[in-house]
């Protein structure tokens, strides 16, 4: 069953901001053209709004909990992704192309050296970061980024060795096998599977009128020989695992793991349930939360709840046999980015719940999931700025990056 939330259940303050944002939505605004986005309702100097104590949307859950947002660090320029090293150091990417370190709550003023130039334009730039699961033996840090220029570009994955001081041996291990124009829909999140293979989300290449091979580039999401609009799976060195779902399919690219995605910017594998969760931007409305399985088709652009930014229909169909329906549809769009399945001990009542950040909504959607994996409720946690990433820290607290010129690292603590 698909859960629809047509109106965010949230304090009037943030609700107002959401509605204004959606009314002003244009393609780049929903996702990642922060300088053009509606300004946040909270000034840079103000503390984040307190999290609304649980006011469940339905009576199905009697949740008694709250969380208090605390600003850890300010002064990050459009931070995009974050990952912790085993020693507790937090690595943060900034979209213009910098890698920053935060130790003991202090931002190192000097960005790391060893990062090549990236295409920092529109939604492009230095994007996600991830640390090898066995970092002590494999001291690699992984990055996704936009490479090229505005006329011809693609998403890349690189890894670099990190010795605690500098990045070295920056090595491109994957490059999308289509080039595109413009600065939309690069994806890209990374998450590891228990076998130490790496999943990466790749966007569909862009909105109309962007074309490729004589048709809208978004159609690439249904083409198994193209990396656009896919989740791909790689070994840690960038080679293709022999057990990927399409390795024996004629004309399919063997890296493809799932397809029919528009632009996934939130993705996490939950090792407790062995399920992959992903949040995906729709066009106008129709953002999705999916549980993604190897080899499956998630429909874009053949089936969708979203419409063109211009208001026209993308598809008359919202579901089709053989394609997987989303578990949650967000209309109007929240512009989802950053996703966490909570497995810490500081919010015991939130075990296994999903937390999806929203750029346009300026909040985190706390999605309650029952033991069978069904979505049963959704409540917002107001942040008051564009939420780019949501992760669990090694201390069991929830960490948030905000996509602002003076972006923040925020920590949610039990309130
Ligand atoms: Ca879909």
Ligand 1 center from residue 8 Cα (angstroms): 20
Ligand 1 center from residue 190 Cα (angstroms): 19
Phi-psi region of 148 (alpha: psi -120 to 50; beta: other; left: phi over 0): left
pLDDT digits (tens, 9 = 90+) for 379-411: 999 999 999 999 999 999 999 999 999 999 999
Ligand 1 center from residue 265 Cα (angstroms): 14
Residue of 147, 185, 281, 305 marked catalytic: 185
185 classed as catalytic? yes
- Mean pLDDT value across residues 253-278: 98
Cα distance between residue 412 and residue 60, in whole Å: 25
Of 310 and 8, which is predicted with more confidence? 310
pLDDT value, residue 371: 84
Ligand 1 center from residue 317 Cα (angstroms): 11
- Grade residue 65 by pLDDT with cuts at 50, 70 and 90: low
Ligand 1 center from residue 328 Cα (angstroms): 10
Structural contact between residues 220 and 230, judged by C-beta atoms closer than 8 angstroms = no
> Strand 328-330 and strand 3-5: pairing?
parallel
Of 311 and 148, which is predicted with more confidence? 148
Ligand 1 center from residue 211 Cα (angstroms): 21
| Residue 64 pLDDT exceeds 60 | no
**Sign of the Cα pseudo-torsion (310, 316, 318, 322, in order):** negative
Ligand 1 center from residue 302 Cα (angstroms): 9
Average pLDDT of the chain is 88
Structural contact between residues 92 and 77, judged by C-beta atoms closer than 8 angstroms = no
Q: Quick one: three-class SS letters along the chain? A: CCEEECCCCCCHHHHHHHHHHHHCCCHHHHHCCHHHCCCCCCCCCCCCCCCCCCCCCCCCCCCCCCEEEEEEEEEECCEEEEEECCCCCEEEEECCCEEEEEECCEECCCCCCCCCCCCCCCCCCEEEEEECCCCCCCCEEEEEEEEEECCEEEEEEEEEEECCCCEEEEEEEEECCCCECCCCCCCCCEEECCCCCEEEEECCCCCCCCEECCEEHHHHHHCCCCCCCEEEEECCCCCCCCCCCCCCCCCCCCCEEEECCCCEEEEEEECCCCEEEEEECCCECCEEEEEECCCCECCCCCCCCCECCCCCECCCCCCCCCECCCCEEECCCCCEEEEEECCCCCCHHHCCCEEEEECCCCEEEEEEECCCCCEEEEEEEECCCCEEEEEECCCCCEEEEECCCCEEEEEEEEC
Ligand 1 center from residue 175 Cα (angstroms): 24
Q: Comparing C-alpha atoms, which of 115, 117, 171 is closest to residue 147? A: 117
Percent of the chain residues past pLDDT 90, beyond the cut:
82
Cα distance between residue 336 and residue 266, in whole Å: 7
Domain architecture of the chain: domains with CATH:
3-414 (2.120.10.30)
Count other Cβ atoms within 10 Å, centred on residue 169: 11
Report how far apart, in Å, the C-alpha atoms of 38 and of each of 16, 17, 26 are. Answer: 12, 8, 11
Count other Cβ atoms within 10 Å, centred on residue 310: 11
Ligand 1 center from residue 297 Cα (angstroms): 8
- Mean pLDDT value across residues 114-137: 97
Q: Comparing C-alpha atoms, which of 110, 100, 182, 95 is closest to residue 144? A: 95
Question: Which positions ≥6 away from 370 have C-beta within 8 Å?
Answer: 376
| Residue 46 pLDDT exceeds 90 | no
| Residue 38 pLDDT exceeds 50 | no
pLDDT value, residue 41: 32
Ligand 1 center from residue 79 Cα (angstroms): 27
Question: Which positions ≥6 away from 34 have C-beta within 8 Å?
Answer: 78, 386, 403, 404, 405
Ligand 1 center from residue 249 Cα (angstroms): 22
Cα distance between residue 74 and residue 106, in whole Å: 10
- Grade residue 26 by pLDDT with cuts at 50, 70 and 90: very low
Cα distance between residue 396 and residue 414, in whole Å: 11
Ligand 1 center from residue 300 Cα (angstroms): 5
Whole-structure pTM value = 0.87
Ligand 1 center from residue 339 Cα (angstroms): 17
**Sign of the Cα pseudo-torsion (167, 169, 174, 175, in order):** positive
pLDDT value, residue 31: 57
């Amino acid at each position: 069953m698909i859960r629809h939330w047509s109106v965010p259940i949230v304090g009037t303050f943030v609700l107002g901001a959401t509605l204004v944002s959606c009314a002003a939505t244009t393609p780049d605004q929903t996702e990642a053209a922060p300088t053009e986005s509606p300004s946040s309702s909270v000034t840079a100097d103000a503390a984040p709004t307190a999290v609304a104590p649980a006011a469940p949307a339905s009576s199905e859950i009697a949740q008694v909990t709250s969380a208090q947002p605390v600003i850890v660090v300010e002064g990050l320029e459009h931070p995009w992704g974050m990952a912790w090293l085993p020693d507790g150091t937090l690595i943060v990417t900034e979209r213009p192309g910098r890698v920053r370190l935060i130790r003991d709550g202090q931002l190192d003023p000097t960005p790391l050296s060893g990062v090549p130039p990236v295409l920092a334009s529109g939604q492009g730039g230095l994007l996600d970061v991830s640390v090898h699961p066995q970092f002590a033996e494999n001291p690699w840090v992984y990055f996704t980024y936009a490479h090229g220029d505005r006329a011809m570009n693609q998403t890349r994955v690189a890894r670099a060795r990190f010795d605690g001081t500098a990045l070295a041996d920056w090595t491109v291990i994957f490059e999308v096998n289509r080039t595109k124009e413009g600065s939309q829909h690069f994806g890209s999140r990374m998450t590891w599977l228990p076998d130490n293979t790496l999943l990466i989300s790749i966007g569909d290449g862009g909105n109309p009128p962007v074309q490729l091979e004589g048709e809208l580039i978004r159609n690439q999401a249904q083409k198994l020989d193209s990396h656009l609009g896919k989740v791909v799976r790689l070994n840690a060195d960038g080679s293709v695992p022999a057990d990927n779902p399409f390795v024996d399919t004629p004309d399919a690219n063997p890296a493809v793991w799932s397809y029919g995605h528009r632009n996934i910017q939130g993705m996490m594998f939950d090792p407790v349930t062995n399920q992959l969760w992903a949040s995906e931007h729709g066009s106008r409305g129709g953002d999705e939360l999916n549980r993604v399985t190897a080899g499956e088709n998630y429909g874009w652009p053949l089936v969708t709840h979203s419409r063109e930014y211009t208001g026209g229909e993308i598809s008359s169909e919202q579901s089709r046999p053989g394609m997987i329906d989303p578990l949650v549809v967000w209309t109007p769009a929240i512009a989802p980015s950053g996703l966490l399945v909570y497995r810490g001990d500081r919010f015991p009542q939130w075990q296994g719940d999903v937390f999806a950040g929203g750029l346009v909504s300026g909040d985190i959607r706390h999605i309650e999931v029952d033991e069978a994996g069904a979505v049963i409720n959704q409540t917002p946690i107001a942040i008051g700025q564009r939420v780019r990433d949501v992760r669990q820290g090694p201390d069991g607290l929830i960490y948030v990056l905000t996509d602002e010129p003076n972006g923040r690292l925020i920590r949610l603590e039990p309130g």
